[in-house]
Amino acid sequence: MIEKQSDNIENPDEKVFEEVNINEDSSVIENQISEDNKESPEIDDQKNYAEDLKNTITNNDARLEQLEKEHETLKSQYVRIAADFDNFRKRQSRDQDDLKVQLVSKALTAILPIVDNFERARQQLKPESEEAQTLHRSYQGLYKQLVEVLKQQGVSPMRVVAQQFDPKLHEAVLREPSQEFNEDIITEELQRGYHLEGKVLRHALVKVSMGPGQQNSQEPEEKDKVEEDIDLENSISEEN
């Protein structure tokens, strides 16, 4: 009986020990579960952060691409505007130069008849007395000053005699036969022409050669043509 009681006494201790172990194991499991539950939000936060970072990078790439396109567009516009402005500046400079030449040409063209009168007077005047020679020298001094002013402005006279007739430079007033010059060669200068910095300021009035015997060969042709017209008119009148 005593042994059975002792066995009964030992059994409660073992039960208590087993219960303690079970409790400890359950507490360990609970601690692990709680730790796992603590770690899971951190993992979710990391995933969310990675996703947000990825979206941010994607948006930044798209924005960068858009900005590059806008940059290229603005660059093209700037280049086009710069080219237009450069063309405008050149055109304005060219127009100003042309306007300056036109104004100078207009003023100088008004002076040229005075130069013509000086030259005609120089050819006609033949001073004989001392007083006339003094006056002639004064006149020559004024003429030289006027010519010098024209030279300073870029005006130069044309040399046309014995030159080929050019309608861009000359204006033919008369045409006559010449034994000395070939056809379309200038034989005489009637009014001097002038250049202004390489451009025509005033055309030269000239007399042009028709070549040797050109007039004699044309007169019979013109006469025959007139006679033919007269005969034709007479025949028509007779028929009527």
pLDDT (tens digit per residue) in 184-202: 999 999 999 999 888 899 9
Read off the tokens for 218. Answer: 């044309």
Contacts of 115 (CB under 8 A, 6+ apart): 143, 146, 147, 150
CB 125 within 8 A of CB 163: no
Q: Residue 173: enclosing H or E segment and its boundaries?
A: strand 170-176
Which pLDDT band holds residue 40 (cuts at 50, 70, 90)? Answer: low
Which pLDDT band holds residue 34 (cuts at 50, 70, 90)? Answer: low
Please state at what angle helix 130-152 crosses helix 2-124, rounded to 10 degrees: 160
CB 160 within 8 A of CB 206: yes
User: Domain 156-240 class?
Assistant: mainly beta
Looking at per-residue confidence, does 123 or 59 come out higher?
59
Contacts of 153 (CB under 8 A, 6+ apart): 104, 108, 196
CA-based nearest residue to 20, from 10, 31, 9, 12: 12
The domain limits of the chain are 156-240
Residue 186 one-letter amino acid? I
Residue 240 pLDDT exceeds 50: no
Residue 119 pLDDT exceeds 90: no
Residue 237 pLDDT exceeds 70: no
Give CA–CA dist 231/82, Å, rounded: 75
pLDDT digits (tens, 9 = 90+) for 8-33: 444 555 554 455 455 555 555 555 55
CB 158 within 8 A of CB 166: no
CA atoms within a 13 Å half-sphere pointing along the CA-CB vector of 211: 6
Which pLDDT band holds residue 216 (cuts at 50, 70, 90)? Answer: very low
CA-based nearest residue to 211, from 179, 236, 163: 179
Mean model confidence pLDDT for the chain = 76
Q: What pLDDT score was predicted for residue 41? A: 60
Which pLDDT band holds residue 7 (cuts at 50, 70, 90)? Answer: very low
CB atoms closer than 10 angstroms to residue 39: 10
pTM: 0.53
Give CA–CA dist 156/150, Å, rounded: 8
% residues pLDDT > 70 (the chain):
70
DSSP 164: B
Which pLDDT band holds residue 236 (cuts at 50, 70, 90)? Answer: very low
The predicted model gives 208-229 an average pLDDT of 57
Give CA–CA dist 165/183, Å, rounded: 9
Residue 215 pLDDT exceeds 50: no
Measured CA distances, 175 to 181, 183, 194, 211 (Å): 12, 10, 22, 10
